[in-house]
Structure 1
C-alpha cells in the first residue's frame, strides 16, 4: 500500500482521498506498483545495503559463450549447490556473462572449491575471485537436466534503452505524468545493475582480506541512492569496520599495527598501494589512474568484465551518509525519483550538464534543487519535510560522525515519521514538473541560497552566482564551480521549459507534445520545424512535392505547397506566427556556427534529406 493511502487510513482524512482520486494520472502512478513506490513499511538504508551485500556474498559472475549456455551452466552448478537465479548481460566488448545467485554463502563456497586452476603452461598466480569463466566441455557432452520452471531471469539486462524506442513509448503515453513515469522506469538502474556493482565491491573485499583484518568496500553515490540510471559510474569507498570482536576489551592479544611514516598523507600511501594491486592482481581491471593529490585521493579504473567505470576512494564516510540521505528522501514519496529523472534528462538535453567537469551544474546540485522545490509549502501542500525536521526526530542510535567530525546525525527509520509530515500534496507529476520550472524561473538567485536543511530560501553568504548548501557540511557550496554565464543560462532554460511544457501539453498531441518537447535536442527539433508544412505536424515528403498528375502538370511547386498547408485550419493564427518566428531565430543561430555559408547550406541539405 502506498504512503498516500496509508496516510489516509491513519489520519482518517477521507477528503484527501477524494481529492487525490480526481488526479487520475497520480492515482495511476500510485496504484500501479513500481520500483519507486514506497512499501507499507519503510526499509532503512542499512537494511537495503545489508541485503545487497549478502546477495553478493552468495553470487558469482561467469563468462560464457552466449545466453544459450544457460542450460549447461545451470546443470553443472546445480551439482554442487542450489541455484536461486541466473541473470544474463553483455559487457562493452559484447562478451556474454551470467550472474548466478546461490541459496546460501556455504553453497557458494562449495562451488568455489570445485573451481580449477589456470592453464598449466601459463605463469599466473591464481587469485580467488567471484569472477569466473566457463570452460568448454572435454570429451562427450552430458545430458542436460534443467527443471521446467528454471530459466534466465533476464537476458542482456544491462543494455541501455534504445532512444528511438523510448521516444516511441513516450509518444504513446496518455498523459505527461505517464511520460515522466515511463522515462523513470525505462532508464533507472535495474536490479542486475545494482547486483553487478556489489559484485565488483565484493571482488575487492576478497583481495583485501589478506591485507586488512577489518576492511569493507561499499558502493555509494548514484549506484545506491535510488537516483542512478543504467550505465552510471560506480563509486566505491574503502572503510574500516570496527566489529565487536575486534574491539572486545576482554581479549588480551592485540594485532600489531604498521604506522605510516613519511611526509605524504597515509590515505595517499594506501591508495598508491591499492592502485598497484588493481593493476597486478584484480581480473577485469584496466586503465588504472591514480589521482592522489586531490582533497579525497581516488583511483579511477575500468572494470571490463562488469562493463563499469569505477572511482575508488579511502575513508569517505560522508559520501555514504549523503547517499543514505538522498535514498531516504527518494523513498518518502513515489513521485520524487521520477521527477528528478525528468529534470536531469531535460538538463542534459539543453546542455546545462556535461559529462566532463567544468563551470556547469552537475546532477547532484540538480537533485538538491528538486528536493528543495518539493519542500515548499503551497496551497496544495508539500511533498517532503526539511532536513532539519529529520535531524530533530533523530534518536540515540542515529548519531553518526564522519571524517573531520562532520555531523551526519538524522532520523534513519522513516517509520517513526508522523504521516502528516510528508506527501501532503496531491499534485500529479505533470503539475509538479511545471511548478518546478515556474518556481525556479522566479527564484532570486542573486540574493538567496538553496538549502534543503531549512526547506526555505536563505541569504547567500557570498557573491557566488549559484549557492546550494551541502546538507551535511553546511559551510560548503556544492555549486561553487558554476559560472555567472551558466547560472544565467539556467534561468533562461527553466523559463523556456515552463513555456514549452505548458504550450505543448495543450491541444492535439504532436510528435513533440509534453515531455518529448523537453527531451528532444533543440537542433533536431529545429530541423523538424523547418520541414513541417504549416502546423499540421506533418513532414513534407519529396514524393508529395514532385509527384505530378495529369491534371496538375501545369501547377507550380509553390501552388503544391499552398495546397498542402491547408490541412490545419484549426490552429490559431497567433500561435502560427510565433512558431514561424522561432524557426527563423533557430535558423539564424544555426547559421552562426558556420563561417562558410556554402558549407552551412550543404550540411542543412544533407540533414534535411535524411529526415525526409
Structure 2
C-alpha cells in the first residue's frame, strides 16, 4: 500500500491505492515512470456498488472555515479519533475555474511542438548566424497560454557576439561582426529582414510571411502549416523574455493564480471585452496584470510585489537590460502565502474591486503592489513592470474600459444572487456558467451627451446589434438557454 497525493478542485487530496511492480517505460512528462505490465482485476458491478455504499456509511462531510488551514483543521479533528482517509473538497465555482484552467492550458505535446518549430527556424537562421538560438517566450512558456495561442520567438544573437563567450581550447577562434549602422533598431530591422527572406524561400511549411519592421518591436510573422501555429519572430527583445520568466514564477507560487487568470480571461472573452483582432480591446496580458495586482492586495497577499521579489534576490539574480532593473529572485526561494481565500471569493473580489476602481485617476502597478496617480490621460493605465515609463494598456479606449467596468459590476451582482453559486435546476446556468452568458449593457452610452465621432458611433452600433443578436438567440433556445461551460469558445 502506498499514499499518492493529487490535486482535486484546488485543494490537496490524498488517496490510497494498490500498486504492482513490473517493467517500466520512461515518463514523457518528467514525472513518474509508467508501469506497462501492471494488471488489475476489475470488480463486478454489484461488488463495486456495495463497496461504495459501505464507504458512504462510514463517511462524514464537514465544512472547513475559509480562515482555517487544512493542516490545523485535520489536526483538530484527529484529536477526537483516528482518521483513516480524508480529502478536502472545494466549492462548485472553484471546481469550474480549475476545470477551465485544465481544459484550455497548453498540453505537454503542444509545448514540445512549439519548441520543435523554434528548432526548425533556428536551422534556417543558422545559415547567417551559425551559433544563434531561437527561444520561445510569452504565452507559450509562461504557464498562462491557452491552446491555439501564437508562438512568439526571440532570435538570440548574444551567444555569437564574442563578448559573452568563454573561449575553450584550440589555437584559432572565430568572431562575428556586423557593419556599422545608425542604431541598434536599424540593425534589428536588417537582421529580421534577412531571416524573413530565408524563411520565405527555404523553410518548408512556412507560408504567409510578413515583415512588420516598422512596429515598435520589429517582427517577422508567418504561419507554420504542419503544426498549425501562427508565429512571430523578434530580435533584441530581452525584456519580453524577462517578463515571461516573471509570469512563470508568479504562476508557480500558488495554484489559484493560474486558475483565476484563466477564469477571468474566459469571462472577458464571452463578454466581448477581449478579441483576437488587434484594436482597442483589453488584451489578455493586461487582464493578467490586473489579476496579479488584485492578488498582491489581498490580506495577507497571495503573491509578492515585484519590488519584494527584487529585494529577495541575490547577486546571481541581478539583471539589468538597457538601464531597466529586471532583477527578481527565483521561485524556489519564495515562501507560500498564508492566505486561505477560495477562488470563489477571489473571483467575486475581482469584479467588485475593478467595478469600483478609480480608473480616471489611478494606475495599476505590480512592481509596487498599490495604486498610483496616472502620469498621462489614458483611460486605462497599467504600468509595464520593467519599462516603467510604458503603459501596456495604451491601446484601450474609454468605450472599451466602460464596457469592462459595466460587465464587472453586473457579474459581481450575479454572484451575489441566491442560488447562483450552486446547481439548483437542470435548466438554469449557475456558477461560472452564469457569468459567461452575453449581457445587455444598455445603459453604457445613455449618460453621454457629447456626440461621438462617426467611427465610434458605427462601432457602438455594431456592438449593440451583436449583443442583441446573441441575447435573442439565448432567449429563444428550446432548452431554456442552458450552456455548458466546456463548450464556450475563447
TM-score of the superposition, structure 2-length normalised? 0.71
CA contact (8 A) 2:167 2:173 kept: no
Distance verdict in 2 for CA 1:283–1:468, change over 3 Å: same
User: Does 2:315 match 1:401?
Assistant: no
Partner of 1:337 in structure 2? 258
- The 3-state SS of whatever aligns with 1:437 is helix
User: Does 2:155 match 1:238?
Assistant: yes
Question: How far apart, CA to CA, are the structure 1 residues paired with 2:473 and 2:339?
Answer: 50
User: Does 2:341 match 1:427?
Assistant: yes
User: Does 2:206 match 1:289?
Assistant: no
Distance verdict in 2 for CA 1:276–1:210, change over 3 Å: closer
Partner of 1:216 in structure 2? 133
CA contact (8 A) 1:217 1:238 kept: yes
Partner of 2:455 in structure 1? none
Q: CA RMSD in A?
A: 3.5
Partner of 2:465 in structure 1? 593
- Give 1:279 deviation, angstroms: 1.4
Which residue of 386, 407, 410 corresponds with 1:496?
A: 410
- Give 1:362 deviation, angstroms: 0.3
Distance verdict in 2 for CA 1:507–1:315, change over 3 Å: closer
Question: How far apart, CA to CA, are the structure 2 residues paired with 1:321 and 1:432?
Answer: 27
CA contact (8 A) 1:214 1:241 kept: no
CA contact (8 A) 1:30 1:334 kept: no
Question: How far apart, CA to CA, are the structure 2 residues paired with 1:195 and 1:232?
Answer: 14
- Give 1:493 deviation, angstroms: 1.2
Alignment of 1:383-398 (within 5 A): 383-398=302-317
Distance verdict in 2 for CA 1:610–1:319, change over 3 Å: same
Partner of 2:436 in structure 1? 519
Give 1 or 2: higher helix fraction: 1
Partner of 2:46 in structure 1? none
Alignment of 1:417-496 (within 5 A): 417=334, 419=335, 422-496=336-410
Distance verdict in 2 for CA 1:227–1:592, change over 3 Å: closer
- The 3-state SS of whatever aligns with 1:179 is helix
Question: How far apart, CA to CA, are the structure 2 residues paired with 1:359 and 1:207?
Answer: 35
CA contact (8 A) 2:379 2:398 kept: yes
- Give 1:500 deviation, angstroms: 1.4
Partner of 1:266 in structure 2? 187
User: Does 2:282 match 1:410?
Assistant: no
- Give 1:352 deviation, angstroms: 0.9
Question: How far apart, CA to CA, are the structure 2 residues paired with 1:606 and 1:273?
Answer: 51
- Give 1:359 deviation, angstroms: 1.4
Distance verdict in 2 for CA 1:261–1:432, change over 3 Å: same
Distance verdict in 2 for CA 1:436–1:607, change over 3 Å: closer
Partner of 2:10 in structure 1? 29
- Give 1:515 deviation, angstroms: 0.2
Moved more, 182-191 or 486-495: 486-495
Distance verdict in 2 for CA 1:604–1:435, change over 3 Å: closer
Alignment of 1:247-266 (within 5 A): 247-248=166-167, 253-260=172-179, 265-266=186-187
Question: How far apart, CA to CA, are the structure 2 residues paired with 1:313 and 1:293?
Answer: 12
- The 3-state SS of whatever aligns with 1:242 is helix
Distance verdict in 2 for CA 1:452–1:249, change over 3 Å: same
Distance verdict in 2 for CA 1:431–1:454, change over 3 Å: same
CA contact (8 A) 2:384 2:390 kept: yes
Partner of 2:105 in structure 1? 188
Distance verdict in 2 for CA 1:456–1:320, change over 3 Å: same
Question: How far apart, CA to CA, are the structure 1 residues paired with 2:416 and 2:278?
Answer: 32
Alpha-carbon displacement from aligned partner over 1:432-482 (angstroms, at most 9, x marks no partner): 101111111221112111111111111211222111111011111111111
CA contact (8 A) 1:223 1:234 kept: yes
Partner of 2:267 in structure 1? 346
Alignment of 1:15-414 (within 5 A): 28-32=9-13, 175-242=92-159, 246-248=165-167, 253-260=172-179, 265-378=186-299, 381-402=300-321, 404-412=322-330, 414=331
- The 3-state SS of whatever aligns with 1:489 is helix
Aligned length: 383
Distance verdict in 2 for CA 1:606–1:519, change over 3 Å: closer
Question: How far apart, CA to CA, are the structure 2 residues paired with 1:520 and 1:197?
Answer: 33
Distance verdict in 2 for CA 1:406–1:249, change over 3 Å: farther
- Give 1:240 deviation, angstroms: 2.0
Question: How far apart, CA to CA, are the structure 1 residues paired with 2:175 and 2:249?
Answer: 40
Distance verdict in 2 for CA 1:389–1:590, change over 3 Å: closer
TM-score of the superposition, structure 1-length normalised? 0.57
Partner of 1:508 in structure 2? 424
- The 3-state SS of whatever aligns with 1:265 is helix
- Give 1:604 deviation, angstroms: 6.2
Where in structure 2 are there 5+ consecutive unaligned residues? 15-24, 39-89, 441-460, 481-490
Question: How far apart, CA to CA, are the structure 2 residues paired with 1:398 and 1:437?
Answer: 36
